[in-house]
Homo-oligomer: A and B are copies of this chain.
Amino acid sequence: MIVESSLTETRRHVRSARRAGRVVGFVPTMGALHPGHVSLIEAARRDCDFVVASIFVNPTQFGPQEDFSRYPRMLEADLKMCRDAGADLVLTPDVSAMYPESAQTIVRVTKLAQVLEGAHRPGHFDGVSTVVTKLFNIAEPNRAYFGQKDYQQQLLIRQMTADLDLPIEIVTCPTLREADGLAMSSRNRYLSTIERGRATHIFQALQLASQFAAESNRTPPEIAQEMRDYLNSVGGIDVQYAVIADRATLEPLTERASSAVALIAAKVGTTRLIDNQILQFR
């Protein structure tokens, strides 16, 4: 496995692979890898001939009050996981290479970036769409892999890729969960034991929504209210949003449809967690 901090060298390796007719798969990450990331690299390994992962804690997608400086960094462990999962090359660029002082271009997805995560984290998605555009242009993959856990993010990346005519197929892979249902996340390691116990109720609330959709006649706003009531009843969970939305536009659903997505963001202690689940209505 090649570990490369140079953007130019990474491009050279990828181009050489593509010239040899190999299909290139790409998994961008911020490191602090967990089995969810591993499953993305494994999916790329199954589909593609040359697998590139990147590890870059992207400063522009963190707000000024957010956890950029304390975001977990553990390069050696991450590289081992990449190697074990079958990556061929891991790009580990410096912030100064990605954002020289002269940089002044942003890629902005307008509508999709304004709701839910975008409303709660101003500027977050500008940072995401800009860095992913850059990484796509450096790694020039045929396919790129994202987790469903960041549902809005994968929608945004799909939109951006289509809108900018990037010749890349976006693949979304299922959320990986702990035994009690908590979605795997690099931020779970911030949780104390008590908080970790509370956090599982986010998954429980999504399960409740799933059940109400499949087995009751409740409307989406009623189901969303059930999720909020459930989470508020637990205690120690600060719900930022809990909604039932259109799967493509993320607009809140007022009427039952054939399917929808339930999305939750909540703070448990100082740790902000998100999760989501596709709902099928009966």
Q: Which of A137-183 contact B (CB under 8 A)?
A: 137-138, 140, 159-160, 162-167
Q: Which of A55-111 touch B at CB < 8 Å?
A: 102-111
- Specify which of B137, B160, B163 is in contact with A165 (CB 8 Å cutoff): B137
B110 touching A108, Cβ below 8 Å: no
Oligomeric state, in copies: 2
Residue among A7, A110, A164 with max Cβ neighbours from chain B (10 Å): A164
Give, as a whole number of angstroms, the nearest-CB distance from A98 to chain B.
Answer: 9
Closest approach, in angstroms, between the C-beta of A145 and any C-beta of chain B?
20
Contact of A137 among B108, B110, B164 (CB under 8 A): B164
Return chain B residues, CB-CB under 8 Å to A104.
Answer: 109-112, 159, 163
Binary contact track A31-73/B, C-beta < 8 Å → 1, others 0: 0000000000000000000000000000000000000000000
Write the residues of chain A forming the contact surface with B, with a CB cutoff of 8 angstroms. 7, 11, 102-112, 129, 133-134, 137-138, 140, 159-160, 162-167
Q: Which 9 A-B pairs have the closest CB atoms?
A: A105-B163, A137-B165, A104-B110, A134-B165, A104-B111, A103-B163, A105-B109, A138-B165, A105-B160
